[in-house]
A = this chain, B = another copy of it.
């Protein structure tokens, strides 16, 4: 069996201090959070080397995986990215200045200018994505193939349940980040 990790230690402290509290949520969501935070600096450095930060990369990669012509509306972007519309405007301004995206004039609803990857943006997003996935694959390689499958399936079940319990704040203010 496995040794105790820092979440086990933490739960043990709580069991002493507040023995009546059920900390099962921490065993799962707490670990998910810790992993997410802990792993971030290493991933971030991949993007830094590529010349952007992870928030900007999230925009680029969402456009890239949408396929040709790598073009989406701001509203689609900020919903998918789980950030506010104002936050997206800022990211787009920075990316446009860096020459990685452009806002294309186009027929149709003139309230929104679709956003499109430039050739350079596409190139650099692809490079960064490959490196990111290489790094993340290495990180989970301590698990066997069977364990990875199982872990993925259990997380999927949770994701599906949380998706159903739609917490979306609807309006002009969403929250959070992107998934990749």
Per-position 1/0 for A160-178, Cβ under 8 A of B:
1111010101000001110
A130 x B18 contact (CB < 8 A): yes
Per-position 1/0 for A1-39, Cβ under 8 A of B:
011011110100110111001111111111111111111
Q: Confirm or deny: A98 has a beta carbon within 8 angstroms of a beta carbon on chain B.
A: no
Distance between Cα atoms of A54 and B2 in the complex (Å): 31
Take A137-B22, A150-B150, A179-B37 as given contacts and tell me if A143 and B155 are in contact as well, using a CB distance cutoff of 8 Å: no
Q: Confirm or deny: A41 has a beta carbon within 8 angstroms of a beta carbon on chain B.
A: yes
Distance between Cα atoms of A157 and B155 in the complex (Å): 15
In the bound complex, residues from chain B placing their C-beta under 8 Å from that of A23 are 133
What is the interface of chain A mostly: helix, strand, loop, or mixed? helix
In the bound complex, residues from chain B placing their C-beta under 8 Å from that of A110 are none
In the bound complex, residues from chain B placing their C-beta under 8 Å from that of A143 are 28, 154, 157-158
Distance between Cα atoms of A121 and B5 in the complex (Å): 28
The one of B21, B148, B176 in contact with A28, judged by C-beta atoms closer than 8 angstroms, is B148
Distance between Cα atoms of A2 and B163 in the complex (Å): 14
B150 x A5 contact (CB < 8 A): no
A41 x B175 contact (CB < 8 A): yes
B37 x A35 contact (CB < 8 A): no
Distance between Cα atoms of A31 and B126 in the complex (Å): 21
A28 x B151 contact (CB < 8 A): yes
15 sample A-B contacts, Cβ–Cβ < 8 Å, listed by A number: A5-B156, A7-B159, A10-B65, A16-B67, A22-B134, A24-B136, A26-B136, A29-B35, A33-B180, A36-B36, A37-B179, A38-B167, A39-B162, A41-B167, A151-B151
